[in-house]
Amino acid sequence: MLGLSISALTACSTSDSASSVITISDPVVRANDEMSMQNEATGKYMTGSFMTIANSSDEEIYLTGGSSDAAAIIEIHEVINGEMLPMSDGLAVPANGDVKLRMGGYHVMLMEQAKELKAGEEVTVTLNFSNGESVDYTAPVKMIAMDDEVYGAEMMP
């Protein structure tokens, strides 16, 4: 781990599409801790990732899903009345606007993690959007304290 650079820590995003209209900034992944949920069957951890997603086009675009070497399943969730719920239609990123994925609100769920994630590591995630774009981001893993209610909901894959 020591050899990894921290260049991505200050936020960056890359896209494999030349006509990219989606920008991801300030991404972070929550480190696993004693509060982290684990799949009861597999024992594998899950955690959340947070960021700001901007859309420079004139059309509303939906974040529909993603993939990562760090987790077998990537889902888009929102917290409603303290309960985490998957967003089956995806998360709308408004035309010429942005959406903030924050603790206690929208977030990208990393489920069935390949391994426990510790503070100071880095994770790369690819997010897929309804306009066909796929955008990579590399986020630092940080300890994030959260209210019990946010992470207290029973959410197993």
Residues that bind another protein (CB under 8 A): 1-7, 9-10, 26-28, 31, 33, 50-51, 103, 118-121, 140, 142-145
Q: Which amino acid is located at 118 in the chain?
A: K
Nearest distance from C-beta of residue 79 to another protein, angstroms: 17
How far is Cα 84 from Cα 46, in angstroms, rounded to an integer? 13
Nearest distance from C-beta of residue 157 to another protein, angstroms: 25
Nearest distance from C-beta of residue 3 to another protein, angstroms: 7
How far is Cα 72 from Cα 152, in angstroms, rounded to an integer? 22
Residue 60 or 121: the one with the smaller Cβ distance to another protein is: 121
Nearest distance from C-beta of residue 1 to another protein, angstroms: 5
Nearest distance from C-beta of residue 12 to another protein, angstroms: 11
Q: Is 154 helix (H, G, I), strand (E, B) or coil?
A: coil
Q: Which amino acid is located at 82 in the chain?
A: G
With a CB cutoff of 8 Å and minimum separation 6, the contacts of 127 are 22, 24, 53, 63, 65, 66, 74, 108, 134, 135, 137
Residue 97 or 100: the one with the smaller Cβ distance to another protein is: 100
Residue 120 or 157: the one with the smaller Cβ distance to another protein is: 120
How far is Cα 82 from Cα 62, in angstroms, rounded to an integer? 23
Residue 117 or 131: the one with the smaller Cβ distance to another protein is: 117
Residue 25 or 39: the one with the smaller Cβ distance to another protein is: 25
Among 138, 139, 109, which residue's Cα sits nearest to residue 15? 138
